[in-house]
Amino acid sequence: MIAYDTLSQAVNGLRERGYTVDFNLGENCLVCNGNKYDIRDFGITEFYRFEGDTDPADEAVIYAIESINGIRGILVSGYGVSAEGMSADMANKLSFHHR
């Protein structure tokens, strides 16, 4: 993995490497361009975690995602205090453990 100092550097770097679409968290799925991807329909190829210097609300993680149909994009999500609600299955899929 490449080392990035900021979230914006990671977004730009991933975009340059072909992760061009934006994924969003849906209910028990990821959503992109009106399509829903179940947890079995995508993989995490890379992730980068960023911690705020003084504000816990600045904590975020960016995931490089590839769907089973070859769509490559990113998901930016908060963690800790700023984490979004999600199912246990999705939380497990997006855990920080390398698979």
Q: Is pLDDT above 50 for 98?
A: no
Under DSSP, the state recorded for 18 is T
Chain segment 31-89, per-residue pLDDT in tens: 999 999 999 999 999 999 888 665 555 688 899 999 999 999 999 987 644 455 567 77
Contact 20, 71 (CB under 8 A): no
User: Which helix (H) or strand (E) is 31 found in, with range?
Assistant: strand 29-32
Amino acid 82: pLDDT: 42
Q: Could you tell me the pTM of the whole model?
A: 0.81
Tokens of 27: 């209910």
Domain ranges of the chain: 7-93
Amino acid 99: pLDDT: 42
